[in-house]
Structure 1
Amino acid sequence: MENVSVRNAPVANEAAANYVGPLAVLTTLFFMWGSLTSLNDVLIPYAQHVFKIELAASMLIQTAFFSAYFVFSIPAAKIIDWIGYKKAIVVGLLTMVVACLGFFPAAKIPSFPFFLVALILLATGITILQVAANPYVAVLGKPETASSRLNLTQAFNSLGTTIFPWIGAHLILRTTAAAMSASQEADAVIRLYVYFFATALTLLAIGIGLSKLPRVASAEHHIGERIEDSVWKHPNLVFGAIGIFVYVGGEVAIGSSIANYLALDNIGEFLSPATIPDAAARYRAALGEAAKYISVYWMGAMFGRFIGSGLLQKIRPAKLLALAAIMAGLLVITSVLTNGPIAMWAILSVGFFNSIMFPCIFTMGIEELGPLTGDGSGILNMAIVGGAVIPWLVGKAGDLINHRYYPGMIQGETSWGQGIHYALIAAAFCYLYILFFAVSGSKPNSERYSRT
């Protein structure tokens, strides 16, 4: 395989020249949904404090959010078939606006179930955007540069995931470390989701509704059109779906755990016992500082995607994906087996090697699907449900380890045992599968069944 290709994608020079504007518009979408997705990592320690819940229960934030991908990805693909990419994007944005407004009652009551409902609705809108935008970017230009193009737009997604965890940690988690009223804690959430994001998404929906996005027929098929093919006849799509499942699960599990992980005395070392003698109070105080490093994790992904966009012009996606999987797995193992700065920076560095995984897996997964590209995209986006499953399993494993081996390090909803330290080994197994996909599972039918 020389490079990623999407069959029948347009390559005309005139058309390609007109793709700069549409790509810029789509890049804004990637930035917005990256920003909102990354704030879940901040909401997890916030929920532990406000609702007095343990790690596994707080991971239901990710379970609720990413379960929407599984439920709504195929319907989203059908919506695209019915109304086209542009209108589907507007529908997705308006769904996100309604979800952001839902954070007002969720924070004011406050109600954890309301938070989960708002997150499910938010993820539904993002799912529609993902199913529409990812294949659209992949076919919006030369097929041989599809991975590079998608990697570049994903870099701006990572820009959002870099900026907003820091903002969220400052606005939201600052309230958990200080003696603030419930009303002040609610206002921190409302300012971010209701005042800022609901307004920004509304303006973006209006802008896209009034803009002219080109129609790319190669990535669509018409209702009732007979297609002599099936997505299930493409093993690269099936293996790719599993790859997306474990990749998102591993990446989200790490990102969701960073605040709790780095707040441990033997990992982040932010506060000394001499400063705050009480271990539980010291751990809670360290959470706000630790959460700011979520931005470092996602910053690595951002830089990796900008660099990867250039590398993918010269290096086969499968080869680069294999290297990234090996490095990410080794860093996770290093972090689990060590303490202090080594453990801290090893886990944060995983973000850099995560950077090129999604675009590589995605473009190799939809290779040679032709008019089934939309359906294949829906299946791959369903697999993002890994972000709902694996983080919860990691959180549950962390709680079980703490209760079994560190019962003296649990005070109410606060646990500063080593459970999360060791539970993150699960991510290494995720990267092992991605290595398999890069080496073998990603081969399209033309290579898999070609005669030599």
Structure 2
Amino acid sequence: MTTSASTAVSQNRSVPVTERRFLVPFVLITSLFFLWAFGVNLNDILIPHLKKAFGLSDFQSSFIQVAFFGGYFLAAFPAGRVMERIGYKKGILTGLFLCAVGAVLFLPASSSRIYGFFLFALFVMACGQSFLEVAANPYVTILGPATSAERRLNFAQSFNAVGAVLSPIVGRAFILTGVEYAPAQIAAMSAAQMEAYRAAEASTVKGPYLLIAAIFIVVAVLIQLAHLPELQETANEAGAASLERNSESVLSYPHLVKGVLAQFFYVGAQVGVASFVIRYAQFSVPGTPAKTAALYLLLHQIGFMVGRFIGSAMMKRIAAPRLLSLFAAASLICATIALLATGLISVWAVVLIGFFHSIMFPTIFALSIRNLGTLTKRGSSLLVMAIIGGGVFPPIMGRISDASSIQRAFVVPLLCYAFILYFGLSGYKPASAPAMGSVSANNEGALA
């Protein structure tokens, strides 16, 4: 470890995660990380469930992620521009409203049994979550000392991991029916039997998504009633100069551009792996029922949650870029095992990837927006737009799976981890390193 890295780690041990004056806003914003993770990770249950309900191929079922992360991509930049005008709090309320609307749309989608309607509902919900991510991720990084920004975001994202763990538990209990038929049995069904079977499968999403909508509404009320200071990033030298540049000047920061690519590859790998954990377990251990295979998805997400808390603690002693590199290398090894081995050892390698995914998103995010000053919101928008990777790579994996096998599809995340490893080793370094901007609370601009 270099001297500068050692100094940074030494300073990080004594710096608090957040300041006392920001404690209430920090708690409220951290709760959002839990909420959107719960919604995102239910997609991993929806993929095998709607595949069965509509008789879809792996490629067709992966369009659940295309619709969802397409919403993230299309809404992210407008969300950033809107928040430049209305502030973080109103942006968060807008996101919560859209999330609730998207969740409610699952009711008519289920009744109509139109696959495209489900995709539209997911798209609307994702647009709302894009607003939440554009606001919450940078907001958390500036709710305290700049030197603990990566640790603070990792801590907040730990509760995102809790949502990721609970969603497959809820999905397995209330969405997956456990009713499975062999292809020959399905072929032997009459039209009426097939209609009843698929209608019953589609209807199980109503209760969970109605509850999700209600929770989003309750949280929106709490946020509205709370006092969230509207934080203003104080421009550092790079940020001050950027005020005189055009709107594209944010792309003049090479570390941000590389960070956007790293985030694109990370989210693609994370969503791709999670989307097909159930499918992979059934392939590697033939005869495994979907409900049993869903337990491996649960363990994958538990590893993700545990990794978030452990990773946040490890950053007190290990510099964030170094830890990111170690976790990327470990993920690459696990993906190689999944690609080459079979049986339980390969399934457990896929499960273990969840642990090593844990710190990637928040660490890439925090490293990428370093030294952006007044361009932080725009940089954050680009990083949230990079979440479209979650809609790009699962269909590629699905196509490879349909053409060959789900095992061969794991070459896709393997290549993603290689770029993340590069970013953690050297790609994160800013071209210049001006002093990081401070933060001030403009209480007059905050809504009571």
The answer to whether 1:245 aligns with 2:264 is yes
The answer to whether 1:193 aligns with 2:209 is yes
Distance 1:420 1:315, change over 3 A: same
Q: CA deviation at 1:183?
A: 4.5
8 A contact 2:165–2:305 mirrored in 1: yes
For the residue of structure 1 that corresponds to 2:429, the secondary structure is: coil
**Whole-angstrom CA distance in 1 between matches of 2:234 and 2:6:** 18
Structure 2 residue aligned with 1:262, among 281, 296, 321? 281
How many residue pairs were aligned?
405
The answer to whether 1:138 aligns with 2:141 is yes
> TM-score, length-normalised on structure 1?
0.85
The aligned residue for residue 412 of structure 2 is 426
For 1:188-217, what per-residue CA distance to the aligned partner results, in whole angstroms no more than 9, with x for missing partners? 2000001x1111111010110110112211
8 A contact 1:49–1:176 mirrored in 2: no
Distance 1:183 1:175, change over 3 A: farther
For the residue of structure 2 that corresponds to 1:217, the secondary structure is: strand
Q: How does 1:21-420 map onto structure 2 within 5 Å? A: 21-174=24-177, 176-177=179-180, 181-194=197-210, 196-218=211-233, 227-229=243-245, 230-264=249-283, 267-268=284-285, 271=287, 286-401=289-404, 419-420=405-406
For 1:378-398, what per-residue CA distance to the aligned partner results, in whole angstroms no more than 9, with x for missing partners? 011111100010111011111
**Whole-angstrom CA distance in 2 between matches of 1:28 and 1:191:** 22
**Whole-angstrom CA distance in 2 between matches of 1:34 and 1:21:** 21
For 1:104-149, what per-residue CA distance to the aligned partner results, in whole angstroms no more than 9, with x for missing partners? 1111110100001001100000000000000000111011111111
Distance 1:171 1:430, change over 3 A: same
**Whole-angstrom CA distance in 2 between matches of 1:144 and 1:96:** 33
**Whole-angstrom CA distance in 2 between matches of 1:232 and 1:4:** 30
Q: CA deviation at 1:170?
A: 2.1
**Whole-angstrom CA distance in 2 between matches of 1:191 and 1:219:** 46
8 A contact 2:242–2:375 mirrored in 1: no
Q: CA deviation at 1:425?
A: 1.7
Gapped runs of 5+ residues in structure 1?
6-11, 272-282, 402-418
**Whole-angstrom CA distance in 2 between matches of 1:161 and 1:319:** 25
Distance 1:239 1:4, change over 3 A: farther
For the residue of structure 1 that corresponds to 2:52, the secondary structure is: helix
Q: In terms of mean alpha carbon deviation, does 179-188 or 231-240 score higher?
A: 179-188
For the residue of structure 2 that corresponds to 1:177, the secondary structure is: coil
The answer to whether 1:444 aligns with 2:430 is yes
8 A contact 2:322–2:424 mirrored in 1: yes
Aligned-CA RMSD value: 2.3
**Whole-angstrom CA distance in 1 between matches of 2:19 and 2:402:** 52
Distance 1:209 1:311, change over 3 A: same
**Whole-angstrom CA distance in 2 between matches of 1:220 and 1:385:** 29
8 A contact 1:219–1:373 mirrored in 2: no
Paired amino acid for 1:320: L
**Whole-angstrom CA distance in 1 between matches of 2:380 and 2:6:** 19
Paired amino acid for 2:229: P
Gapped runs of 5+ residues in structure 2?
9-14, 182-192, 435-448
**Whole-angstrom CA distance in 1 between matches of 2:235 and 2:262:** 24
Paired amino acid for 2:267: V
**Whole-angstrom CA distance in 1 between matches of 2:310 and 2:138:** 21
Q: CA deviation at 1:226?
A: 7.5
8 A contact 2:91–2:135 mirrored in 1: yes
For 1:79-101, what per-residue CA distance to the aligned partner results, in whole angstroms no more than 9, with x for missing partners? 11111101110110010111011
Distance 1:315 1:173, change over 3 A: same
**Whole-angstrom CA distance in 1 between matches of 2:296 and 2:19:** 39
**Whole-angstrom CA distance in 1 between matches of 2:396 and 2:118:** 21
* Identity across matched positions, percent: 37
8 A contact 2:77–2:385 mirrored in 1: yes
**Whole-angstrom CA distance in 2 between matches of 1:256 and 1:341:** 18
Q: CA deviation at 1:21?
A: 1.2
Paired amino acid for 2:425: V
For 1:335-367, what per-residue CA distance to the aligned partner results, in whole angstroms no more than 9, with x for missing partners? 221111110111110011111111111111001
Distance 1:228 1:312, change over 3 A: farther
For 1:309-350, what per-residue CA distance to the aligned partner results, in whole angstroms no more than 9, with x for missing partners? 111122111111110110000011012211111101111100
